[in-house]
Structure formats: structure tokens, C-alpha cells
Amino acid sequence: MAAKHDDFLVEIGTEELPPKALRNLMQAFADNLGGLLIEHRLTHGPIKAFASPRRIAAIVPGLAFSQEDREVEAKGPPVKIAFDDKGDAKPPAIAFAKKCGVDVQDLGRTKTDKGEWLSYRSVEEGVTAESLLPGIVEQTLKGLPVPRRMRWGASDIEFVRPVHWVVMLHGKSVVQGSVLGHVVGNMTRGHRFLSTGEIKISEPAEYSRLLYDKGFVIVDFDARQLKILGDVSGAAKAAGGTVVADDSLFEEVAALTEWPVAMTAKFDEAFLSLPAEAIKASLTGHQRYFPIADASGKLLSAFVVVANLDSKDPDKVRDGNERVIRPRLADAAFFWDTDRNTRLADRIPNLDLVVYQKGLGSLGDKSKRIAELCGAIAKDLGLDDEQAKRAASLAKCDLLTGMVGEFPELQGVMGSYYALADGETDEVAAALREQYLPRFAGDVLPGSQAGQILALADKLDTLAGVFALGKKPTGNKDPFGLRRAALGVVRILIECKLELGLESAVPAAVSLQPVSDPDKATVAEDLLDFIGDRLRSFYLEQPDVSAEVFEAVDKAPGRHHRPLVDFDQRISAVKKFALMTEASSLASANKRISNILQQSIVADGSSVDESLFQESAERDLYAALRAALVVVEPLQGSRDYAAVLARLAGLKEPVDRFFDEVMVMADDDELKNNRLALLARLREPFHSVADISRLSVAKSDGG
């Protein structure tokens, strides 16, 4: 009996693919392929993706050779219009039967809530995988996240790089068809220099092994990156140090090599007098070399090279790489010496000659806005503003230096070095270094007071300026990085515990923008909402913060007039409260209170007249509430919100008893209004922390 399923291999051989996008392309290829196979009803196992500089590939275990047959039902006209009073078929019934290829008497009937309809059930035979796979692979490739596609030759075919071969095997059989203009085959190609000739793949299980043994290609991306990590670390250890590089460099080198071989090389020790960041940028940015540091973190004059072949004469490879890096470091040394001939402060006038953004003036204009905003932020925080304002005036000056022109990633960092060389204070230098932090999710935050103020001012000015121009992000597009900037504002305020209210800082930033057309109050409101969205994302990405906890704090009265650090304290308190046994009952009670008060005319703070109490349950609740408030009110002042809610949790029993025994909506208006006032008074201390009625409850009582 023929097998119903077998492994499927697809490989797209190309010119060298963009290294920084290779992993994403590989993963998207596997994800898209899997989704389309499911969509076409071809069952399979977990897909394994592969990629190297000259290929993306995937192996699909146990791919079905054809779709399963399935029963389909065609729906026809309603019975009432399909037949006449005598039961004879009318034209609609005859036409439907003809469409189905059967006689009218072979049609069935299906009853629904809307009536009875003619129907016909038939079995649709499954289509073979071989007939579907070329189209599926083509569609998979079209769906890859490729910002710019290329054309080559006289063809209209487009892909991220020119395609040279396509392999598609289902079991041991070559899938018949063509993909991107290439007839599908079973011949792959190995390393561009080490491999000799094409390599025949007889079945998918042989793919990785044959490319390794005959092609000198480690086609598994993760395995290749892991090898590079181990080899580079070993070479650095042999040189007396450890590697100084992040995961992105290892990933990029893995995307540049098929047969990685690590070796150490050296540069002139005289270059160690350069700032360490400049050396690292020269090594990693231009050449993708791995710097080495000693146990104290000081750079050594050795570095690790990862070649894409195992040379018979490694010394020549080493010498070649040393010759390449020498002029790079010499350029850095030239910029370092030349830049220090001009003080940062002397570069300030030239900032007016550089356009920052059309409609928002020059870099000089931006620097002035940031300096003014630094002063406003420092004043709101009750801090000295001189250091932050001085740093703001110098913040963009290093953009005019030769070093930053060559290594844009060193902006801020080089400003810090040049500031110290000019005799600026350590705090100003630190602020210049920290002004762009955090640069990405999970990045470190500014550590100095002036750095925190400057980073906030810079980000708020950027946000306010782009929003004033009407260019806020839409969909997935965010060319100005505003989501990252807004998240940076949120993180700095919360994690650095700055008592700054955005309701004053945001309008201040908007008011400084040189854009006269828009309604700046509306712009500020939109920007506050935008930052609020980032605040929500910030919390909901934390595993222990639910959407309900966030909403409980976010929707509490007065939330927008409090600092985010206060918001964070409330989040922590509500998280703890939600875990208490009393939480469900009190959340339910608060929800019921909100529903009752929403339908009644009563305001928070309404007076309660004890002489109108008729039931012991309402007397006891009021007494318990007053006793709780004696404890709670000082805790509110000190922002010990967890203790506030813990004390209010003690009201569970009298609250439950009140709702069990007291009819709030009494016929007597005076009695009813007094009970409503009691409920409003009960809700106030909860609302002083959060709207806990938004928390999930096991069961909500009626109104």
C-alpha cells in the first residue's frame, strides 16, 4: 500500500541574502509555509527551518501526499419557491439540480431556523500535494517580509535576491513544477569556494548531512550561530580575555557565513588610547570582528575574526584582516584628535545650520526647546536645572563631529568624551551619554539626574514635534520611532521614580513647537492618549499584570493628574489585593454600588445622616467604614495603597451583610437617598486607589 505521507524539503538557492534580515526571512518562510499547508488541508508535523547566506529552506515532516476527501453540502433555493402547489419542480429547483449534476429527486432538504432549503451532499476528492506545492511555495515566498524586491535579467519575477536553483522533494520524488521561473529539481549547491559541483539530494533526511559533508555548509542557522559562539569564545579565552559583543553580532556573523572558522588577530596597541567605544565600533560595525577585553573590562589589542572558509594558509587570512582594520582605526584616531580641537560649546552656532526636521526648525532650535523643557521638568521635580540645561545646549553638538559622522551609533557617547575633554562637569558628561536611553526594549535607563531629565525632554520634544506636524504613527508604520520614544518616557518616569506629571510636561513640550496651524491643546491630548497606550502595553507585557488590574487603576478618578510612579504603586497594590480572598466579594459589591449610583442622583461626598438608619446592618457598615477611614486616610497620604486595600478588605463582612439585609432603593426618598449616600461614601476610599469594580468576580449580585 502506498505511503500516505512523507517528509517534504524545499530549498530556494539565491545570491547572498541580507544578513540582518536572514533569521526573520527564515522564520517567516517556515511560518507562511505552515499556514498555507494547513489552509490547503495538507497535514504535516512541526516544520524545521534552515538558512545560510545563499539559501532559505524548510523540511516539513510527514507531509500528506494529498488532501483528505471531504463531504461538502451545496445549498439551493428555499423549498417554498422550488416547487409548485402540486409538488412539481419549478425552474429554481431544476437549475440547482443541473448545477449539481443530478436529477431533482436526488436533491436533499436541509431545515434551518429560517426555513427549509434544497441541498445536495457530495464527496470532494482531495487534490494531490504535488499539484499544490509549487503554488504554495510561490505564495509563501511572496508573503515574506521583504521591504524591497529585486528583478534580474529580462524577467518580471521579483525576490529579495536573484534565485539560482530550487529544490523540492516529497519523500524521494522530485515535485514537478517551477518556482520563481526555475524548474524544480533535487540538485543543491554547497559553499561558493570550498564545494565542487552540484550535490544531489535523494531524500529530505539527507539534506543537512550532505550539505555538511560535501558542500561545506552548516545549513542549520542556530547550530551555525552556536558554533560561532563557542569558537569565538574559545579563541578569546586563548588570547587572554573574553568576547565583548552582543547577540546581534553573533547572529549577523552567522548570517554571513556558511562554514565559519574563528581565528585571532591583532592591531597596534597604540590605538588603545582611543575611546573603547570607537575601537568597538571600528571592529564590529565595519568588519564584524569580535573585540576582546581582559578581566577588568579593558580592551586588548586582539580581536577574533570569523572567516567563511577553512584556509590552508590561515596566517594570510589573519594578515589580511589586520591590514583591513588598520586604516579603520587610523581614521578613528584622526577624528578623535581633530574633533577635540574644537570645543563642543563652540559648535553650538553651527547647529542652526543643520535642519532637524522640516517644519520643526534646525538642530539649534531643537536644542533650545530641549533646554527650556529641561528647566520646566527640573522645576516640576524640585531639582536644580543648571546641569540638565547645560547638557541640553551641548546635547546635539557631537552630531557635527567627524567621529559621529563616521560612527552614528556613537552619538551621545562621543559627546560625553568631548565634554570631559572640554572641562565640563561629570554630570553634564553623563547626561550627554545617557540622553538617548533607553534606545530599545529592555535597554538600560539613564542613571544620573541630569541624564534622566535630558532624556525625557529630548523624547517629549520629538513626540510633540511629530504630533504637531500631524505625522503620528499609523498601523505598523512608525518612521520616527515614536512608540519607542513614548515607551522610554514611561520607563524613565516609573523605573527612575520621578514625580513628574505628564499632564503638565506634555502640553509644555507641545507649546514649544514652531507649528502654528494645529490646535495645540488637541495635539497635547492626542499625545497623552498615545503615551497612555504605551503605558498599557508596558504593563500588559508583564506576566503578573492582567488587563483588569490595569483598567482598575487606569479608570480610577483623577488618574491622569497623578505621576506615573504613583500609577505604578497603585498597580502593585491592586495586584496584591486581587489575590486576597475578600477581593471577589468586594469587587462584586463595588460593581453593584457603581450600577446603583449610576442610576441615581448622588455625588461622592454626600453626607450620611445616622439618625435615618433603620437596620442594624447599615449602622454596622457605617461604623466599620468610619473605623477603617481613621486608618486608611493617613495611609493614602503616604501612598501605601497596598495597606489601604488590605484594611478595606476588612469591610467584606459588613458590606455583604448590608446587601443581604438592606433594601437600598426604599420607597421613602429620604431613607433611599441616605443609603445611596452611604454607598457613595463607601466607594470613595476604594476609588482613592482604583476602581476595583473592574476586577473579575466569581458572581455579581443584582442591583
What pLDDT digit, counting tens, does each position of 612-643 carry? Answer: 999 899 999 999 999 999 999 999 889 999 99
Q: How would DSSP label each residue in 282-296?
A: IIIIIH--EEEE-TT
**Fold assignment, 565-694:** Isoleucyl-tRNA Synthetase; Domain 1 (1.10.730)
Position 236 pLDDT exceeds 50: yes
Q: Answer with the residue of higher pLDDT: 557 or 347.
A: 347
Backbone dihedral angles phi then psi of residue 564, each to the nearest 5 degrees = -65, -25
Tell me: the pLDDT tens digits for 5-31? 999 999 999 999 999 999 999 999 999
Q: How confident is the model at residue 698 (pLDDT cuts 50, 70, 90)?
A: very low
- What is the reported pLDDT for 701? 40
The answer to whether 552 and 618 have CB atoms below 8 angstroms apart is no
Short-list 293, 295, 305, CA closest to 228: 305
Quick one: what percent of the chain has pLDDT higher than 90?
73
- What is the mean pLDDT of the segment spanning 599-620? 81
Q: Answer with the residue of higher pLDDT: 162 or 89.
A: 162
Q: Is 472 helix (H, G, I), strand (E, B) or coil?
A: coil
Tell me: the pLDDT tens digits for 355-410? 999 999 999 999 999 999 999 999 999 998 899 999 999 999 999 999 999 999 99
Residues of the chain within CATH 1.10.3210 domain(s) are 345-541
Helices (H), 382-412: 386-394, 402-406
Tell me: the pLDDT tens digits for 270-321? 999 999 999 999 999 878 999 999 999 999 999 999 999 998 899 999 999 9
- What is the reported pLDDT for 702? 36
For 5-67+128-213, which CATH class? alpha beta
Residues of the chain within CATH 3.30.70.260 domain(s) are 5-67+128-213
- What is the reported pLDDT for 518? 74
Q: How confident is the model at residue 604 (pLDDT cuts 50, 70, 90)?
A: low
- The continuous run of DSSP H or E covering 304 comes out as strand 299-307
Q: How confident is the model at residue 322 (pLDDT cuts 50, 70, 90)?
A: very high
Tell me: the pLDDT tens digits for 131-148? 999 999 999 999 999 878
pTM surpassing 0.85? no
Position 603 pLDDT exceeds 60: no
- What is the reported pLDDT for 345? 97
What's the chain's Rg over C-alpha atoms? 35
- What is the reported pLDDT for 601? 67
The answer to whether 265 and 252 have CB atoms below 8 angstroms apart is no
Position 700 pLDDT exceeds 60: no
Q: How would DSSP label each residue in 522-589?
A: HHHHHHHHHHHHHHHHHHHTSTT--HHHHHHHHTSTTGGGS-HHHHHHHHHHHHHHHTSTTHHHHHHH
- What is the mean pLDDT of the segment spanning 662-689? 89
- Architecture label for domain 345-541: Orthogonal Bundle (1.10)
Tell me: the pLDDT tens digits for 489-543? 999 999 999 999 999 999 999 999 998 777 899 999 999 999 999 999 999 999 9
Tell me the C-alpha distance between 328 and 337, whole Å: 15
Residues of the chain within CATH 1.10.730.10 domain(s) are 565-694
- What is the reported pLDDT for 1? 37
- What is the reported pLDDT for 697? 52
Q: How confident is the model at residue 605 (pLDDT cuts 50, 70, 90)?
A: low
